[in-house]
Amino acid sequence: DVKVTQSSRYLVKRTGEKVFLECVQDMDHENMFWYRQDPGLGLRLIYFSYDVKMKEKGDIPEGYSVSREKKERFSLILESASTNQTSMYLCASRGGRAETQYFGPGTRLLVL
């Protein structure tokens, strides 16, 4: 079975802090994604990566950056956390074009 893990299930941070969310997948998938999930809005793509050191902006990249130094690991960085970044963050990975996307358990982030 594909396994996608995220470093934290719950996180509480202060406004202005730098926040790192990490995601690891164990299926040698090329593609990895970071989504934000908010009630009534579904999932919105923040960034994705199709290879090591390669990244593309999604629909809502402002205030976020990403890093992919190794194929199995994709990090989401909030350079200076703000209260409007309080949300559920979901990581996902996928192999080839026609393959299914698998999700991690999510990180619920609260920014005070």
Partner 1 sequence: AQTVTQSQPEMSVQEAETVTLSCTYDTSESDYYLFWYKQPPSRQMILVIRQEAYKQQNATENRFSVNFQKAAKSFSLKISDSQLGDAAMYFCAYRSAANNNDMRFGAGTRLTVKP
84 part of the interface to partner 1, by CB under 8 A: no
> What is the smallest separation between the CB atom of 64 and partner 1, expressed in angstroms?
17
31 binds partner 1 (CB under 8 A): yes
One of 34, 48, 74, 89 touching partner 1 (CB under 8 A): 48
Q: How far is the CB of 81 from partner 1 (least distance, A)?
A: 23
Binding-site size, partner 1 (CB under 8 A): 21
Q: Residue with structure tokens 């994604």?
A: 33
Task: Indicate which single residue of 11, 43, 60, 77 sits in contact with partner 1 (rule: CB under 8 A).
Answer: 43
Question: Which tokens is 66 given?
Answer: 């990403």
69 touches partner 1 (CB under 8 A): no
Alpha-carbon dihedral sign for residues 63, 104, 8, 68: negative
Q: What is the total residue count of the chain? A: 112
Pick from 27, 45, 60, 77: which binds partner 1 (CB under 8 A)?
45
Q: Does 12 bind partner 1 (CB under 8 A)?
A: no
